[in-house]
Amino acid sequence: MRMTVRTSLIAIGLSVAAAAQTFLAPSALAQKALPDPTAPTVEETAQGKTMNIQEVTSPGGIKAWLVESHANPLISIRFAFFGGASQDAPGKDGQAYFVTSMMDEGAGDLDAAAFQERADSLAMRLEFDASRDVMLGSLQTLTENKDEVFELARLVMTEPRFDEGAMTRVKAQILAGLKYDENDPATVASLAWDSVAFEGHPYGRPIKGTHESVAAMTTDDLRDYVRRVYARDKLVVSVVGDITPEELGKALDTLFGGLPEKSDLREVAEAKPPLGPSRKVINMNVPQSFAQFGFRGIARHDDDFIPAYILNYIIGGGGFSSRLMEEVREKRGLAYSVTSNLFPYRHGSVFVGNVATKNEALSQSLQVIRDELENVAEYGLTPDQLKAAKSYLTGAYALRFESSSSIANQLLWVQIEDLGIDYVAKRNALIEAVTLDDVRRVAGRLLTPDQLITTIVGQPVEEPVTAGAPARLPTPQNRLR
Amino acid sequence: MFKHWIAASRFRAGLVITLVSLTMPVAAIAAEARKAPAPAASTEQPAKERPAKKAFEFILENGLDLVVIPDHRAPVVTQMVWYKVGAADEPPGVSGIAHFLEHLMFKGTEKLPGSQFSKIVALKGGDDNAFTNQDVTAYFQRVAKDRLASVMEMEADRMVNLRLSETDVKTERDVILEERRSRVDNDPASLLQEQMMAALYRNHPYGIPVIGWEHEMRQLDREDALSFYRRFYAPENAILIVAGDVEPDDVLALAEETFGKIPRHGKTIERERPAEPKHDASVTVTLEDPRAGRTTVQRFYITPSYASAKPGEAEALDLLGRVMAHGTTGRIYKHLVMEEKAAASAGGWYSDSGLDSGRIGFYAIAGEKNTPEQMEAAIDAVVEDVRDNGVTQKELDRARTGLLAEHVYSSDSISRLARQYGWRLAAGMSVEDVEDWPNRLKAVTVDDVRKVARDYLVDENSVTGILEPAPEHTSRVEEKPAPAGKDKS
């Protein structure tokens, strides 16, 4: 197969006005700046900078998005296999996570120690991470070492050893980590929340596994996971840095050409978090209680996602500018941190927040949060609030493109979420297009403060329960041991 | 670079502290402060050649030190103001005031009353935050380059025009008490590290936690904050770093219009800290806590830092730290985990940014059957060996390659670059010192490393911390109906 390169020029608009102007006519801009492949890929325009995203297809047919940048002598690669922890086999919680922890424990004819010394002397940075839906990989190399680093990474991808000795060692480390997590209020609250919101679904299972599942894990389990998930049909790649499309084409075949063509994934059902209210308290002897709260979210490809994203920013995603921060921290001093997030997983979306407050005042924090959610659900936003949110979200988008690895990360997630190569150029216009009515409608749909699922770890002093509450009890489930 | 829990930041998202929970549950790492930056091409340059100039320095008439680091890859800019004051400069009895003041700096000025600072930065599409450690307090924003002038004006304004209401001070004091609960009281590993630092430093204020002792934090008031502010916040005690898509002369002009208008403080700003006496004994601190996961052993040694070292020593310690404790190839991991199977995981760090001293630290986390005695003996064996026999040329070369490469990697991020200069300049190094670092690193020999190992891995200057789970740990889950909604029943 011939190598192909397609180009999409995008501009990272900065001021709101400039952004709108840029994004109204992306094609005109693209023509004006169109690519001489040898020219620098980042160049100044009236609007700011343009970034040239090339879609490279290797001779072997592997695709990647590339932003060439020869300013620094390094290359950042991010890649992902669809699968993640939701592909853990039944009863084998923590399988994907275990695999990621074994990726630097030897490959080909190099045992763990030999591999690690080789990687170290090449200054190779290779990391793997298991999220719910994808296995994430990150590879960085200095330009001068790239050929040897790609060859070493190829061994990791295609010939991981999974030696017994290494497996025993890593198992002990994961178990020690689990032991630590058992006493960390934030982790315990989060696992408990997932087990309620995603009961019976893979998302409800702990990504790192349980003591029992990890202790029982075998090398066959690791190989089985790799066989099912590491395949070319479920791979996305983004690359930023000191490499040409031709060099990248060869590198892609080196890195991933040895993988099987087809994956063998289990079907994952759509998750439907139950409607609250429900509240679970896990007793832990700590002075400060940690609470996680939330409800169903809105999916990434739902037409209402962008308005929901803006709403989350305003409620608890916007750091010191968020309404929860204002009400809980700034006005009342009830917490150091209170945040919310919209997590649009592939098979189920949730809106989740958390707060940590001394035991005596936790119920006050939760009441303030609930009042605020009700307030937004009922009255929506003012024009000024929406304007401020748009101003931040459009302006700060450029901050995500600050370094090679952060650009690669952004482009990887655009691919994982299947938003299209022109998404970076369109994104601010999508934010700008949201109206007050959109936000109000979506607030009514998303924010259901009377259906909150809440998990609390600590020794909260409870306010008396008002009689007549419609209690919905979740199934008792305790992940602590 | 490792900071125990000695650094505290205004918000969890602040970049100073990250908890690494799998392999290093007890270690807090501030990766961005790892190293002084080098020009990207430095690894390929002959040792004697001076690296290309990256930063441009100007001293304003009022004494403000301005450093501009142009990087035109993205149309964004990072502004940081570093005040040369930290928790170790606090008067006795008001521990935590440096960090508390950092929080209060967001509470308004005459021109911008109320807590508007961060909201205005956000309106401009920017992010902002701040952090405090023992020696520095830094405030920073990241914005599009055309917003630099306005955030610079705001930052200059609060250098001298802070206005605080009693209500704001009281409410924010509750916030820092919650911060202490989150960072320290809820986490036995942090509690132990606080005790270890207090034991390691008998007289120097590094023994007092940055966040403060709780009983003193409860008493902090508006006047404590303002008097600390008036004493230390002044142009001649600050470094302004601007990195990103800017030209040095343009930034200089902006700085002169804003910070340049602030008169000098005038009085000498003294940072007198009680010195550490000679130590006659090593100390062991043990904490038994039902919330401890696995038994953990830690060992800290007082060493020189980049600021306090004799020439070449800090570079040698940096390399020693890497040979001993870098990931899975360091001696500590190899000996304790791979060979002796004395621990499930192990590692270490060199904390190099202090003004008066640094520390080298090692830790080990028990597997199911390991005892603290076994782990401590294994750490002792590795330390004794390096003290007696030094390191090999091969180990030194690999460590050096690694440190120089990390340099290139971290120079790729504009905001990290700004931080790296900031840490070093705030500790008294010059821009030239910072940029010449790769050359000094290249000059270190195996003899230099052996010497610092012998001189500084000294028992009397160490503290050992042992965290042990107390037996009766049981968690219970209680199911309760949710309280009724106040208007939805």
Burial of B61 (0-12, 13-18, 19+ CB in 10 A): exposed
Test B328 with A465 for CB contact under 8 angstroms: no
Active site residues of B: 102
Q: Are residues B231 and B110 in the same domain?
A: yes
Q: Are residues A403 and A351 in the same domain?
A: yes
Q: Are residues B154 and B301 in the same domain?
A: no
Q: Are residues B57 and B173 in the same domain?
A: yes
Test B44 with A184 for CB contact under 8 angstroms: no
R_g of chain A computed on alpha carbons: 24
Q: Are residues A250 and A358 in the same domain?
A: no
**Final residue in a domain of this structure, among B193, B227, B261:** B261
Nearest CA in chain B to A384: B123
Nearest CA in chain A to B397: A121
User: Which pLDDT does position B272 carry in this prediction?
Assistant: 86
Does residue B274 belong to any structural domain of this protein?
A: no
Residue from the list B178, B368, B416 with its beta carbon closest to the beta carbon of A357: B178
Structural element, H or E, at residue B68: strand B65-70
Q: Are residues B313 and B227 in the same domain?
A: no
A102-138 burial, b at 16+ Cβ within 10 Å, e below that, comes to bbbbbbbebebbebbbbbbbbbbbbebbbbbbbbbbb
Give the model confidence (pLDDT) of A251-302 as tens digits: 999 999 999 999 999 999 999 999 989 999 999 999 999 999 999 999 999 9
Amino acid letter for position A44? E
Pairing type for strands A134-142 and A42-45 reads: unpaired
User: Which pLDDT does position A42 carry in this prediction?
Assistant: 33
Best B179, B186, B218, B287 residue to mutate vs chain A (most A CBs within 10 Å): B186
Residue B94 C-alpha from the chain's centroid? 21
Contact yes or no for A480/A188 (Cβ under 8 A): yes
C-alpha distances out from residue A390 to A376, A432, B125, B145, B341, Å: 17, 6, 9, 18, 55
H-assigned helices in B143-247 = 148-160, 166-180, 188-200, 214-217, 222-232
CATH number for the domain harbouring residue A409: 3.30.830.10
Does residue A142 belong to any structural domain of this protein?
A: yes
Does residue B486 belong to any structural domain of this protein?
A: no
User: Which pLDDT does position A4 carry in this prediction?
Assistant: 63
Report yes or no: A419 at the B interface, CB cutoff 8 Å: no
Report yes or no: A184 at the B interface, CB cutoff 8 Å: yes
Q: Are residues B189 and B154 in the same domain?
A: yes
Contact yes or no for A336/B179 (Cβ under 8 A): yes
Give the model confidence (pLDDT) of A55-75 as tens digits: 999 999 999 999 999 999 999
Does residue A9 belong to any structural domain of this protein?
A: no
Q: Are residues B287 and B250 in the same domain?
A: no
Give Dmax (Cα) for chain B.
78
**Final residue in a domain of this structure, among A222, A256, A290:** A256
User: Which pLDDT does position B121 carry in this prediction?
Assistant: 96
Q: Are residues A299 and A436 in the same domain?
A: yes
CA–CA separation, A365 and A328 (whole Å): 6
Contact yes or no for B361/B349 (Cβ under 8 A): yes
Nearest to A449 by CA among A316, A318, A271, A295: A295
CA–CA separation, A199 and B379 (whole Å): 45
Test B481 with A473 for CB contact under 8 angstroms: yes
Portion 230-249 of A in contact with B at CB < 8 A: none
Q: Are residues B381 and B303 in the same domain?
A: yes
Interhelix angle for A112-121 vs B393-410, to 10°?
A: 60
The confidence band for A6, taking pLDDT boundaries of 50, 70 and 90, is low
- Bridge partners, residue A237, by sequence: A79
Amino acid letter for position B294? R
Test B476 with A283 for CB contact under 8 angstroms: yes
Contact yes or no for B423/B353 (Cβ under 8 A): yes
Q: Are residues A252 and A310 in the same domain?
A: no
Does residue A50 belong to any structural domain of this protein?
A: no
Does residue B426 belong to any structural domain of this protein?
A: yes
Does residue B273 belong to any structural domain of this protein?
A: no
Does residue B179 belong to any structural domain of this protein?
A: yes
User: Which pLDDT does position B53 carry in this prediction?
Assistant: 58
**pTM given for the model:** 0.88
Does residue B228 belong to any structural domain of this protein?
A: yes
CA atoms within 13 A on the CB side of A138: 14
**Final residue in a domain of this structure, among B261, B294, B327:** B261
Does residue B478 belong to any structural domain of this protein?
A: no
Report yes or no: A49 at the B interface, CB cutoff 8 Å: yes
Kindly list the residues from chain B whose CB atom is less than 8 angstroms away from the CB atom of residue A184.
Answer: 21, 187
User: Which pLDDT does position B471 carry in this prediction?
Assistant: 74
Number of domains in chain A: 2
CATH number for the domain harbouring residue B108: 3.30.830.10
Does residue A475 belong to any structural domain of this protein?
A: no
Q: Could you please report the per-residue DSSP string of A118-167?
A: HHHHTT-EEEEEE-SSEEEEEEEEEGGGHHHHHHHHHHHHH-B---HHHH
Q: Are residues B36 and B176 in the same domain?
A: yes
Q: Which domain covers residue A85, as residue numbers?
A: 58-256
Q: Are residues B224 and B114 in the same domain?
A: yes
User: Which pLDDT does position A105 carry in this prediction?
Assistant: 97
Q: Are residues A87 and A121 in the same domain?
A: yes
Nearest to B9 by CA among A319, A400, A183: A319
Q: Are residues A282 and A243 in the same domain?
A: no
A21-30, A147-156, B399-408, B439-448: which range is least confident on average? A21-30
Q: ipTM of this predicted complex? A: 0.87
* Mean pLDDT of the region A246-254: 98
Nearest-neighbour CA in chain B from A270: distance (Å)? 27
Q: Which domain covers residue B44, as residue numbers?
A: 8-261
Test B25 with A392 for CB contact under 8 angstroms: no
Residue from the list A123, A180, A331 with its beta carbon closest to the beta carbon of B401: A123
Give the model confidence (pLDDT) of B104-159 as tens digits: 999 999 999 999 999 999 999 999 999 999 999 999 999 999 999 999 999 999 99
Q: Are residues B249 and B388 in the same domain?
A: no
Does residue A7 belong to any structural domain of this protein?
A: no
Number of domains in chain B: 2
Q: Are residues A317 and A203 in the same domain?
A: no
User: Which pLDDT does position B54 carry in this prediction?
Assistant: 87
Q: Are residues A297 and A173 in the same domain?
A: no
Does residue B272 belong to any structural domain of this protein?
A: no
Report yes or no: A73 at the B interface, CB cutoff 8 Å: yes
Does residue A3 belong to any structural domain of this protein?
A: no
Q: Are residues B451 and B328 in the same domain?
A: yes
Which residues in chain B land under pLDDT 50? 1-52, 473-477, 479-489
Q: Are residues A387 and A327 in the same domain?
A: yes
Q: Are residues B257 and B288 in the same domain?
A: no
The confidence band for A51, taking pLDDT boundaries of 50, 70 and 90, is confident
Nearest-neighbour CA in chain A from B341: distance (Å)? 9
Residue from the list B122, B177, B475 with its beta carbon closest to the beta carbon of A321: B122
